[in-house]
Amino acid sequence: MNMDYAWRANTQKRRKLVQSGRNQPLKQQYAMKKILIVLWLVMPLSAAAQKLDEGKFEVEKERVLRLSKASRSFERMPKTELSEGNTAQQYQLPRFNYTLPLLAVNTSPLRQQVAQKKDAPPFRNLAKAGFGNYNSLYAELFLTAPKDADWQYKVHGLHFSSQTGPVDGKNSGNSLNQIHGELAKFMNNGKIYGNATYRRDGLHFYGYSPLQSSTVERSDIRQTFSLTEIRAGYENIDPIATFQYRAEGGFYLFTDRYKASEATFQLAGNLDAKLGETSYLTTDLSLDLINRRDEVGGQTRNLLIFAPKYELRQEGFTISAGVRAVADGDSLTNQPKGRFYPIIHASADLVKDRLTAFASLEGNTIRRTFRSMAEENPFLGPNVALAHTSQLWEATGGLRGNISTQWGFQIKSSYGVYRNLHFFANSASDSSKFNILYDRGKVPVFQVQGELSYATGRLKLIGKTGFFGYNTQDLARPWHRPLFTANLNASYLIENKLRVGSDLYHLAGIRAFSPRTGAQISLKPIFDLNLQIDYFINNQFSVFLGGYNLFSQRYRRFLNYDVRQLTVLGGVGIAF
């Protein structure tokens, strides 16, 4: 009974007393009313106190407090990219059994899928730690800002190290330490953002002959890569603006233990201008000022790419055409310093929302830097030659679509011609280090790639495969490039408590060349199966267990470099 109802009941009772002639004096009525009001206030309080003493709570649902809604501009409020809010206990374990020693691990917490109680705190941060065989230590930290913060930030820290490896114990150990931060501020019609990264990778050149095991000094075969990078930019995110644009600048310094360094200033931007209801003019611009130094000397490798194109966008049909202009200052490039490439893209819906056909004819200059080469093959020797790759032209065609609401697919094939295509071969003077070989001729490359995906609320499957053909001109074989690749990724969530993930990788057709003996060597096909299990104890605590290279296969991605066999890693996670 609320106060209004009690007051009306007392008033009606007083009227009945007056009508019956048994009305009390006025002062007595007022006194009785005060006593009733006091009792009406005290009795609920005493009852509530009694229930508090008993450790119980009752919530009154009849009365609802309603507040007026604040005015909001939904068109100008962009989706926050740096924070998914509550990322308490759903995350992806890094895949530690790489075919290469750890050089770059790209992990991030996934969006929270485990339902939380209404009164649970909104966990935004996550810490994980684990231990595995090969004396492996693992620690990872994610920090994110509240969704309503003016400045959005994300911090990711990672440490992973294995004291021993597949060859001669500590002589094949490796380590990775990385700290990465992002910062962004969303304004009315734009976003300003920046990020910074520091990464340090340690590994060893353990691909020496077994006969040298007793004479090799661990300090002599150690390699260390260090990366320091800073980037910042501004992006217009107004969805109804006539001009959409983005401008970004950055700098990075990449060094190794053998006095090699690469300092690069980068500028990039793009403009998307609406000319009419269906026509657009887009422009992409990038400038790389690259200064590379090693024991031999210095080298300036500047690269400017400007790509304007016209686009016609209609419902069910899109076509674009333009040109890519390139100015290349690479001293090793056996091509004109100024080059032009075609850009033609087209797509059409054959069946609306079901089947789309697409085709393109495109050329480009692909950046090849000391940093990108070391990330592809960290066993590079000192003073390697660097040159950008020219994709003279490539024609692509294919189909993509949805078989149903759960099944999706894409299949495409391409044929192109490349110049300065790079390959890897062991050094004649030291078989544990690699040189970069370039095919200076025009190399035709044929590719067929397919992808099939299946997704429901709890199960996700993605399968990819690719066939590659290289008709090398100056080289006998496409050294250390696979001719067939396939991978299958599966993830299943059971009762919001147990998550099981699996990856299967397959590479075949890899040929290697030994300059010392002149022999051509076929590397064994690679089958790498990994399994990851996460068990969520509650919304805040979890445990995980991962098994990598479950076939315990001693395969080689690069000649003379065996990978770790069965690797197990387990640990705990806590959200806060």
> Is residue 36 domain-shared with residue 172, that is, in the same domain?
no
The packing angle between helices 26-53 and 3-20, to 10°, is 150
On whether residue 85 sits in a domain, the answer given is no
Question: Same structural domain for residues 351 and 270?
Answer: yes
Structure confidence at residue 190 as a pLDDT band (50, 70, 90): very high
- Reported as a single tens digit per residue, the pLDDT across 78-95 is 333 333 333 333 333 333
Residue 109 belongs to a domain: no
Decide if 308 is inside a domain.
yes
Q: Residue 418 contacts by C-beta under 8 Å, 6 or more apart in sequence? A: 389, 390, 391, 392, 442, 443, 445
Give the pLDDT confidence score for residue 210 in this predicted structure. 87
Say whether both 40 and 134 belong to one domain: no
In a domain, 469, yes or no: yes
pLDDT band at 333 (very low <50, low <70, confident <90, very high): low
Domain that holds residue 251: 126-575
Domain-embedded: residue 274: yes
pLDDT higher than threshold 60 for residue 44: no
Same-domain status, 38 and 130? no
Specify whether 17 is located in the same domain as 147.
no
Tokens representing 510 are 């890899």
Same domain for 310 and 414, yes or no, is: yes
If asked whether residues 277 and 407 sit together in one domain, one would say yes
Residue 91 inside a domain? The answer is no
Residue 104 lies in a domain: no
Q: Please report the pLDDT score of residue 74 as a whole number.
A: 30
> Is 456 found in the same domain as 354?
yes
Q: Does the pLDDT of residue 378 top 90, yes or no?
A: yes
Per-residue pLDDT tens digits for 481-536: 999 999 999 999 998 899 999 999 999 999 999 887 889 999 999 999 999 999 99
Q: How many residues make up the chain in this entry?
A: 576
What pLDDT does 394 receive? 98
Considering the domain boundaries, does residue 112 fall inside one? no
Question: Are residue 364 and residue 273 in the same domain, yes or no?
Answer: yes
CA angle 134, 523, 471 (to 5 degrees): 135
Q: Model confidence over 99-125: pLDDT tens digits?
A: 333 333 333 343 334 444 445 557 899
Q: Which residue has the higher pLDDT, 164 or 95?
A: 164
Cross-strand partners of 202: 175, 224
User: 131 and 46 in one domain?
Assistant: no
Boundary of a domain, candidates 35, 53, 71: 53
In the chain, how many domains are there?
2
Residue-wise pLDDT for 530-543, tens only, equals 999 999 999 899 99
Is residue 12 located within the same domain as residue 136? no
Q: What percent of the chain has pLDDT over 70?
A: 78
The CATH number that applies at residue 260 is 2.40.170.20
Write the single-letter amino acid at 515.
P
Residues 34 and 149 occupy one common structural domain: no
- 411 Cβ neighbours under 8 A, 6+ residues apart: 398, 399, 400, 448, 449, 450, 451
pLDDT at position 121 is 58
